[in-house]
Structures are given as structure tokens and as C-alpha cells.
Structure 1
Amino acid sequence: MGKRTRTRTATDRRSYSVEAEWSKADLALLEDLKKAEALLPDDAPRALLSVRLSVLTDDTTSPVRQELDLRILARERGCRVVGVASDLNVSATKVPPWKRKELGDWLNNRAPEFDELLFWKLDRFVRRLSDLSTMIDWCLKYGKNLVSKNDSIDLTTTAGKIMVTIVGGIAEIEAANTSTRVASLWEYTKTQSEWLVGKPAYGYETAEDENGKVKLVISATAHRALHWSRQVAMRERPASARRMVKVLVRAGLCGAGLTASTHLRRLRNPALLGYRVEEDKDGGIRRSKLVMGAEGKPIRVADGVFTEDEFYSLQEALNGQGKDQPRRNPDGATKFLGVVICADCGTNMTVQKNRNNGKLYQYLRCGKCKAGGHGAPNPEDIYAKLVEDVLRVLGDEPVMTREYRQGAEARKEQQRLEQSISYYMAGLEPEGRFTKTRFTKERAEKTLDDLIKQLEAIDPESVNDRWVAVHNGKSFRSRWEEGGMEAMAADLLRVGVRCKITRTKMKDVRAPHIHMKLMIPKDVRNRLILKEDDFAETF
């Protein structure tokens, strides 16, 4: 009996859908909680709710239930909910709180807007003791409190700080055990001929036989694309990788995002022989290498897309017509990448190098214009002109650093003054305690005037938690002179400054005329303010 195969595309785990999870009863409870919250005083503590879930299964607590439980907890604590940071399909082991899309924005940019951070359970918040320690330090620095619905966590008490460390240690042990099991599984799969986990190499897809056992089978579409590519690469006048990609995309055999370098990596992958492979991290060259079994032989996991003769003859053809892949430069070949853009197509301009008769030529080219828009020769001259223009416009701007100021002390002083003023005003009313003698009345009136002046001297902004910009004594000119082009490029990219390059072809002149236009946002001064990274490695 022949084997029945089925391509596996589904997963047993499902992503969370917000619209599908809220029932009528949940929405009714949410409305009641919001009505109760509206009755709180204006100075009630402000609570931010953190909801997280990696994968929704029958054993996990849904985000809807987490949010409702946290809103009930906020009501019990007398807190007003100012926001819900909902990060779904996010692993707490891989992504710490400050790097999550929603919670990270609150922690990095909106700290003045909340006083307490509420979460359902510690493992819903963090799973690494180092992440928990960083969050405790951050909360102590900014005057925030961590509160858990199902754990005894409260940073306002010493016992709560000890408990949060203990519970966090247990969560980290659980995460470490999970990580060990996963790493062990991957090491085990490398020695097996069966396909257990992982993404198949291009040319293959997973399928099930009649017994439900997973195996690799050759993808018909990929087989056709690969064999056609080999055929045109073996011609007397072989087709280039760029030409292969253009034809494959036009024929619908490959996606529109395919590049020539990716296609060449596919053609060079020994996995096309049906063997198990792993990444070869040799000096930055992206390659795959064979995994050897216990007997020192490659481990076969599927039928080969190519025979050995077909594969190795293809490699000889590719080696003969192509150049060695250059090692990747960690800093990149292009300076001001993302800042220098093409005025015609709007894409980034990157450095391309050509060698002719032993001489190296460099050009700035864009991604969409035909032939790179004639190219812009002499990139270093363009960089120098860009630096000159930026220094002329922004060089004298002061370097401002964002600092966090808490309003707790100012609020206490304001409250003390208001209570004292009320006391003296009551005492100066007819038949009040300060009206019995002329001396006590004059002294009370003088004291009241002094208290009112002190209250008026308090800046209304100082009673609120807020960000303030403080000058660090330097200008951006000195900052960039110390940090060089790299520091300037990073700042320009951060604040959204762009330089548009227009290339105009000149008659009887090989090189085009280059016109540069510096594009600076209107709110560039606010964007230039440096924000301290509270979650850097040195925190």
C-alpha cells in the first residue's frame, strides 16, 4: 500500500484574538469597573496594567481574564487604571519588559503617567531573575511600585522585596529548565535521520505519512526552480544570479522579495543533497555545512533535490562565473546609512564597489532607480559636504539630556502649606483663636501672608512626575568632534534628519551633477534631546 502524505501547515497552538475573547458578561463587568473607577478622587494612585501571553492554550489564562482580574485588584487598592499594556504572543524568557512593544513604550517614554505596575502573576511579567532585578531597580529609581495579583509582591515593604526575589528565582529556574530541554532537543535532532523540529531548507517541506510520522519531502515548485537555475548556470554563456531571480519571480516560482545573494545561497546549500546541515559561522560568510553522524558520514534526512554529480557540477559552474563572497563588515560599507536617500525613488543610498583594471571605484547607488540613478561617485566627498552642512545648521545646538523629576516632595510641601493656611484662616475668623488679642492677630496675619507666598512660589509643574531637559554643557559640534562620523550619523538617523541626493546627467560628462538637500524636521530641537537608556547593560 502506498503512503499517504499531507503537507503540515497548521499548528496546535493558536494566536490570541481580542475581538473573539470578550463575552457579553466580560464587557458588562468591565463597564461596572469603569463606573466604580470614575468615583475615585482626583489624587488616586494611577495603575498601569501589564498583560502578557506567549501562546493561548487551554491551560493558560486568557488576556481578557488577566485584564479583568487586574482591574478588580486596582479597584481594591483604590487605583485609577490609566492604561493597559497588552503584549500578546510574546515570550517573557526571550523579551524583557522594556523591549516589549506596548509595555516598553510605557517604561521608556511614559513613566510620569503611572504610579503602580500591576500584573497577574510573576511569570506573566518576567521569567529571568536578572530582568526582575533590573525592574526592581528601575521602580526604586522612579518611585514606582510592582504589584502582583497572585504573588505576595509589594515593593513598599522589605518583606515584599525579599518575596519578589525568591519568586523570581523560582521563575528563572523554570525558564532555565525549559531552555535546557529545548537545547537538548535541538542537539538530539542533529543526530537523527528523522525530521523532528525546525524549518526545512529551501527545496523541502514537511509532510505526514499514513502513520502520522513527520518527514521531509521535495517541494515541487522549489524543485522546478532549482533545476531550471542549474540548467541556465551550466550553459556556455551562463545566466547571472540576478537574471535567474528576475525570471523566477516573473514566472511565480519565487517570491518578489528574493535577491540574487539569497538565491546563490540556496543553490550552494548541501541540504539539496538530502543531508542534514547547520550554519557555518566562519568569519561572517553565510554558508551551511554538513552535519556528520557517529560514523563520520553525512546524515540523510530526505531524498536529494540534486544528485551528487548534479550538485557538485553546479558548484563548479557557480565558482567559475562568480566572485568569492566578501566577508561582511560589522560596521557596514556605507556611512550615514538611512540618512542619505535618493530624491527620485526615496530609497537609501548604499556604497557599491567596482574594480576595473586593478583600480577600485566606489559609487552611492539607490535601490529602485534604473541603474542606480547613474550613481553618485566619490562617496567621501558627499559625506564631507553633508558633515559641513549639518555642523552649520545644528552644530551650535546645546546637548540636552532628559531627566526624570518626581513630584512627591513638592506635593507633600504643597499639602502642608495648604493645611497650615486653612488652620490660620480658620483662626482669624470672628471669634477665632487668633482674634482674641491684637498681638496674636497681627502675628497670625503675618504668618498667613508668608505661607501664601510660599504656596505661590511652588511651580505647578513641580508637583507632577515629569521629564525635564537639562543642558550638559556641550554643543553637538563638540559631541560629534569627539564621536566622529558614526556619532553624527546615529544622531541624524535618530532625529529623522535626511539628505536627499539628486543626480542630473550632464552632456558629454560621465559623472552626473550632484545636488544635496538637507531635510530637517521642524521639531528637531525636541528630537535632539538625549534619552538615558535605563535598561542598558550597565544599569
Structure 2
Amino acid sequence: MISNPRVLGNVRLSILKDDTTSPEKQRAAVEHWAAGPAIDGRIAGWAEELDVSGAMHPFKRPGLGPWFNERADEWDVLAVWKLDRLSRKAGHFAEVFDWCQRHGKVIVSVTEGIDMSTPMGKMFAQIIAAFAEGELDTIRARALSGSAARKAKGVWIGGVEPFGYRFERQEGGGKKLVQDPTYAELFGEIVERLKGDWSSYRIAVDLNQRGIPTWRDHLRILKDEESRGVAWTANAIRAIVMNPTVAGIYTYKGENVVDENGEHVRITDEPLMEFAEWSELVAVLKSDRPVRRSTPSRSMLGGVAICQACGARMSSNKKTKPSGRVHHYYSCNNVNTGTCPNPGRVRRDDLDTAVGSFVKVTLGPLPVMERAGNSISQAKTELAEAEGTLDRLEADYLAGRFKTDVQVERYWGQHEFQSAKVERLREDIKTAEDTPAWKETGRTYLEEWSTKDDEQKRVFLQRHGVTVAVGNTEDGSRRVVVRMPELAEIAEQTGLHVPEGYMWTEPEAEYILPKQRAYKRK
């Protein structure tokens, strides 16, 4: 092992739902290993990839790929929780291992105790990688076998009921999944709130205050078992909404299962949400991942405002005077590290008022516009998958891998199905590209703003791309610049009429706030 290595931690999860392999647990395991006296390394960076399949090539993954292609000189050891976090394909694993060998890098699995700088570690790694690929390859076979039984009997043969569904006994035996009326309605409420600028944290707090049992406790109550009183959490809310089962899609160990034609296998004829609508919502939530906090927000602009001097986020803090009076303020997150040349600091009330004035006065009577949806990006993703399936089918056919009459018959069936899917998706994308990218909500910015609390205002600002930069003037006053670049795009694409006098091409407002007078009062 390299002495005092620079460690690149890789965290991967197919879907954010399994507590035993949560990103936090993976991070903690890698950090514990790197900090151990036998290693004495330091974390050089993280390649975190949530909702990324183990079948995707590591070189092409959004988080890990750049560390191979562009930042190879910044790390020595690639540390993973388990080898299947790196890849579930033996071929992909072999390519990564070969690359690391040629570039003087080491792969380590911290929980399996595999150090690939040793001969024994290399041997075990290759064996485990082969098993990981075997497990991935059996996912479809196992699930499709169960799927065939469900389709034949119209029953569910899985495990515990997914969120929002309950078992309904069939006359011929077996169980079918149908909507649970109470929690199907609750799911709809959660979705509408997420769309309406509620954070997952606030939703969890509200459900706990209302005394609504979690899904597992609800199932226990239905079985006349004692409730465990488990509380709702922000992560639980996100995991429920982002789980494909709410859209009626069958999953196996976090992987979406597809049939022999490449279509998603269904678990019910009555999903809580249609797949297209669910895909759009998930796309929004993924884009909001750095935005929507899982912890309580103490302010309207915490994490929104940035320090103009260094570009760091600003957080809400407080200072208690000897008299007991408490002053709240925003300050640059780098103020304690000494890395900011001129850290920004401003009274919270002053900055909140300035931003509120921008929304109410500068934007006030203008209509709030929202993007028409993310269906086009979903269609493009499905199109790429369908075209890739066609390419693989044709390559296998030309290579002579379909030998029997049955195999050839299935090949032409799959080819016809995927070809029709490609044509349909191309037409859907063309139609979507010809429709407006923005739609009116029927409300003005002033109307929207007046109905929200501080947490909802924070989410609203971030959703609409409003930026708040705080700097210092020569005389010690605070200079605040508020911008909304999104407006220029809306005007250009929709031709929306803007009242005369609005700075539409460069929508921004500048405010000069007084010095820190609050700290001088007695």
C-alpha cells in the first residue's frame, strides 16, 4: 500500500432507499479506513453517485468518470464500501483494474478487506467481481420468472407491500396489489406539497405533528400489531417519492426490471402515479438535491445568499449581547477558516427585506412562469436506451449469437418492438420540442410570495434561479445584488409582454444596506 495515500472515495447507490448501504454509511466506512493508523491517508475527494446503476461503466459515470479522465493526478487510492459499489460487471471491473495498474493506482474495498496492491487481494477481487456480475445477470431472470407468474394469475408474489399498496386476495389464490385508499391519498398530498415549494423536511415535521403513522407502522396497525412509533424523516419522504414502485414499476434490489422487449415490468394496474408524471417529478427533485435541505432551515436566505468576495454560501447565525438581546445575521461560511479575503456579513432582517423588495417590487405584477416539464429529457433517456438495445441486438445477430430457430424468432420480435419504440419516442421528442418550454401558473410573483413562509420562500428562490450576492463597499456598508437570469430566457422564448421600465434583459436590483448598526446598540 502507498504510504499516506490520497484517497478517492466512491459512493454509489442505485436508489436512495436502503439504509444499510446509505451514502452516509458508505462515506463513514471509507473515512474510517482512510484515517486508520495503518493507512494514515487523507480524503482527496468524493465521487458520489445516487440513482446510478452498477451496470453503468465506471469510466462513463457522472461522478467517477472525471476522476479517471481529467483528475487522475489528484488521487492514489480508489476506496469503495464494497466492490459491487464500483461495478457489477466483471468486464468493466477488469478495465478499471487494468487502468489503475497502468497509472499506479490502487483499488481497496474497505468492508471486504480487499487491497488490490497485494496478489491475494487481486485474486479475491476478481472472484467477487464475477459473482457481482452474476447477481446482476440473474436479476432479470428471477424477476421475469415471478413476473410471468403474476401475469398468469394476476397476483403479487413479492414481499412486504410497497408504499401505498395493499394486498387483495384473489378467488383463484394469491394476492394482487391495489391502492391503499388512505395512503394513496397521503401520497398525492405529499406530491402536491413537493410541487408547491414544501421541503421534504417540512412535510416530515407536519406528518409527525399530525400523528400520521409511517407506512410500516400503518401495516402493523392493520395486522393488530403494536405500532413502533417510528417518526417520519426527510430522507424517508424522498425515498418514497423517488421509488419507481409508486409509478407501478417492478424493482429488484434497487434495479428497475424490464421484460424481454426492454419494457418496464408492472406490479399493478393501479399505480399511485403515472410513470411519465413520476419521471418529471423525480427529475425536478434530483435537480433540487443540493437545494432542499433535510435539516431545519433557520432563515429565508441561508444557503441562498453568497459572499461576493469568495463565492461561498452564507449561513444564518446569531450573537447574544451581554444584555441578553439576540442579533441574527448572515455571514460567509469561510469566515472561520480565514480563506475569504473580505467575508460578507449582514443583518438578517436587512437582507431578507432587500430580497423581499426585489420580488414584490421588481417582479411584483409579472406572471410566475414554470417550465412545462421534464418529459422531453425522460423521452431522450428512453430513446438512448432503446437505440442501445437495438445496436446490441444487431451486433449479436451479425456475430451469429442467435443460432436456434427460437432465438432467431425472438430476435426479430425484439427488433420489431424496439424499432417501433424508437420511432414513437422520436415523434414524442419532436412534438415536445415544438411546444412552449414555459407555462403560466396564473399567479403573479407578489401573490405567490405573500402566501409563503420563510422556508417556502427559500425553496421558491432557488427553484427560480434567484441569486443573492453580498459584498462590502469602501465605507463599510453592505452591497447586495439580486438577480433572476431565468426571466430573460422566459421573455425570449415566450414573447411575454413586459411593462415598460422593467430591466428584463438584465433582471437585477442593487441595494446598499447600512453598516452593522444592530451590533452597536445598547
State the TM-score bracket (shorter-chain normalisation). 0.3 to 0.5
TM-score (normalised: structure 2): 0.32
TM-score (normalised: structure 1): 0.31
Larger radius of gyration: 1
